[in-house]
Chain A
Amino acid sequence: EPEVTQTPSHQVTQMGQEVILRCVPISNHLYFYWYRQILGQKVEFLVSFYNNEISEKSEIFDDQFSVERPDGSNFTLKIRSTKLEDSAMYFCASSDAGSNSPLHFGNGTRLTVT
């Protein structure tokens, strides 16, 4: 069964540093998402991406965040200057038909900002 893959699985970075989280969505999916989950808390929406542009973003997704689909397979999340409160599990997800179809999540990147 096709999978969403994310790298790295763990990332430790110092406050103020830039990080790039990488994702390869399922190949025939058209809708891509980033979510985050702070330890012990609920899954929170960050951004959705369709047709090579952001379709929606949350209040969390401020100017420090950006997404890119640099080629036909990768989907990246960049955090420009990390803060302690950015420490969380970041999940990439994809779907084939938007919000009415199930999200397929990657295994996540655990980001720790020290």
Chain B
Amino acid sequence: GQNIDQPTEMTATEGAIVQINCTYQTSGFNGLFWYQQHAGEAPTFLSYNVLDGLEEKGRFSSFLSRSKGYSYLLLKELQMKDSASYLCVLNSGNTPLVFGKGTRLSVIA
């Protein structure tokens, strides 16, 4: 089966940098997604890592290490609107996507 672990909650200050970690266990691996979900809204796509390394997209970057079963989402220059849940989502290739429980990030002034 597949298993995803990510912290339940994090708090960070406006303008700061925050790193949200995700570890996973799986028998197969195609890639790892990160989605953002504001309370009461739909998840929206942030990034998709297939190969090891860091992918940067504006203020958001995502890192993957397949050998360690580890990914992180890095958010820079935090803004209040970044307060949301961040979902680590595993594409194992042989089952439907598996969503983590999400990390609820609170950005404070």
Contact = CB atoms under 8 A, between A and B. Distances in A.
Interface stretch (B18-26, B39-47, B72-80): B39-47
Interface residues of B, number: 21
Contact of A108 (B42, B95, B101): B42
Contacts of A43: 43, 87, 99
Interface string A24-45: 0000000000000000011111
A91 B42 contact: yes
Contacts of B33: 102
Contact of A103 (B45, B93, B98, B101): B45
B31 interface: yes
Interface string B69-108: 0000000000000000001000101011111111000000
A100 B91 contact: yes
Contacts of A108: 41-42
Contact of B91 (A41, A99, A105): A99
Interface size class for chain A? 10 to 19
B99 A42 contact: yes
B45 A48 contact: no
A45 B97 CA distance: 7
A107 B96 CA distance: 21
B48 interface: yes
Given A42-B101, A56-B96, A99 B48 contact: no
Interface in B2-61: 30-31, 33, 41-45, 48, 50
A45 B100 contact: no
Contact of A104 (B31, B41, B45, B102): B45
A91 B44 CA distance: 12
A99 B97 CA distance: 7
Interface of A: 41-45, 48, 56, 58, 91, 99-100, 102-108
